[in-house]
Amino acid sequence: MSSHQNLQDITEDQLSLASIHYMRSHYQEAIDIYKRILLDNREYLALNVYVALCYYKLDYYDVSQEVLAVYLQQVPDSTIALNLKACNHFRLYNGKAAEAELKNLTESASSSFEFGKELIKHNLVVFRGGEGALQVLPPLVDVIPEARLNLVIYYLRQDDVQEAYNLIKDLEPTAPQEYILKGVVNAAVGQEMGLRDHLKIAQQFFQLVGESASERDTIPGRQCMSSYFFLLRQFGNVLIYLNSVKSYFYNDDTFNFNYAQAKAATGCFNEAEEVFLLIQSEKIKRDFVYLSWLARCYIVNKKPQLAWKLYLKMETSGDSFSLLQLIANDCYKLRQFYYSAKAFDVLERLDSNTEYWEGKRGACVGVFQMILAGQEAKETLREVLHLLKSTGNSQVEYIVRIMKKWAKENRVPV
């Protein structure tokens, strides 16, 4: 800071100050200096690229495009400017639109301009959703700073959390994106391996970014605060931040997955069910967290048959056993005894634990009580008797005899 006092109001010194602001992520301050210089020196066309880059960093991609156009009118074949234009298109539209902008550049870049070629190769991997990442990015990790970050993102998308962690563990973050990514990786490691220290590190990084003056009112900043409170399991606060950016993520499966969990955790099961069903990703829909929360939503929303269908679609595994336990117990608590009995019956077949028989017995009696009260179809009694008879317990005969006696007296075929 002492060196700042030595800077004079001359172009060279002011450009140096602007670059320092940029490196410190103080993009608006850098923009103010560049614009002030451009007012007196319109011939300094390249400064428009610097301004456009600052706006890009501030997520004002449309403004960045407008400023960049001034420079490209005069220098239409600039590698840096065309690359930035492609990056804006990626943010504003999609990877295909961005790749189209780079097409002419890839054909015209000279073999001597190696930096430009490397940058384009790197960005094409990003535009193509990670295609070719393992071939292109590793050699660029120490050439292009973003290459390391994008390789970490690739590993995370491949569920290779350990490789992602190995690549980022020694990185000292200096920019918000680096803090965020390091937080995401630590959260993934902590959740996958049950390591609380990593979860605490993730919380610290998310809070640091989310409460910083430069990021707290940005979309990533608010996402950081939602992640911070998610890890603390303070879901009411999670929803405050997610609701503030919800309109930007309507079709984003990851956002909807987190939003639906927070809704369910705060008791808003109808809304949670709706959001869970918006998710298209097959990977998420196979996740046990998704299946268990959706099943719970179905049960609370009085659709236990849909929760049962979720179980029937699963292959036999530890997750399917856990889902059975959830259905059995949650249905029992909410007096949805028929599906509770079916779930306890399967659990009893898989594990001879007496608790499962006791649960099934209680659920079957519960179904019978609901039939007597006219809240369950009489025809259900036949299946209840079938479920009871599958158990070799001495109590079965007594319960079955009572049910059959009632059925005979009321002319219910069993």
Q: What pTM does this model have? A: 0.81
- CA pair distance 260, 293, nearest whole angstrom: 9
Q: Which pLDDT band, with edges at 50, 70 and 90, does 2 fall under?
A: low
Rg for the chain, CA atoms, rounded: 30
- CA pair distance 382, 235, nearest whole angstrom: 44
- Characterize 302-331 residue by residue with b for buried, 16 or more Cβ atoms within 10 angstroms of its Cβ, and e for exposed: ebbeebbebbeeeeeeebbbebbbbbbbbb
Q: Which residues are CB-neighbours of 295 under 8 A, at least 6 positions away?
A: 307, 310, 311, 323, 326, 327, 330
Asked if 343 and 357 count as a contact pair (C-beta separation under 8 A), the reply is: no
Lowest mean pLDDT among 31-35, 85-89, 197-201, 395-399: 395-399
Q: Which pLDDT band, with edges at 50, 70 and 90, does 113 fall under?
A: low
Between 1 and 336, the more confident residue is: 336
Predicted confidence (pLDDT) per residue in 236-250, tens digit: 999 999 999 999 888
Between 21 and 384, the more confident residue is: 21
Predicted confidence (pLDDT) per residue in 231-280, tens digit: 999 999 999 999 999 998 888 999 999 999 999 999 999 999 999 999 99
Average pLDDT over residues 11-25: 87
Average pLDDT over residues 219-240: 95
- CA pair distance 206, 226, nearest whole angstrom: 9
Q: Which pLDDT band, with edges at 50, 70 and 90, does 165 fall under?
A: very high
Tally of residues, the chain = 414
Q: Within 13 A of 110's CA, how many CA atoms are on the CB side?
A: 4
Give me the pLDDT at residue 8, please: 64
**DSSP letter for each residue of 42-76:** TT-THHHHHHHHHHHHTT-HHHHHHHHHHHHHH-T
Predicted confidence (pLDDT) per residue in 336-372, tens digit: 999 999 999 999 888 888 899 889 889 988 988 888 8
Over 80: is that where the pLDDT of 150 sits?
A: yes
Ramachandran quadrant class, 97 (left: phi over 0; alpha: psi -120 to 50; beta: rest): alpha
Q: Which pLDDT band, with edges at 50, 70 and 90, does 309 fall under?
A: very high
Q: Which residues are CB-neighbours of 138 under 8 A, at least 6 positions away?
A: 151
DSSP annotation of 353 reads -
Exposed / middle / buried, residue 267 (Cβ in 10 Å: 0-12, 13-18, 19+) = exposed
Nearest C-alpha neighbor of 99 from the set 87, 108, 110:
87
- CA pair distance 90, 98, nearest whole angstrom: 5
Average pLDDT over residues 154-178: 92
- Give the C-alpha distances (Å, rounded to integers) separating 178 from 68, 149, 170, 175, 391: 26, 7, 12, 5, 58
Q: Which residues are CB-neighbours of 52 under 8 A, at least 6 positions away?
A: 64, 65, 67, 68, 71, 81, 84
DSSP annotation of 3 reads G
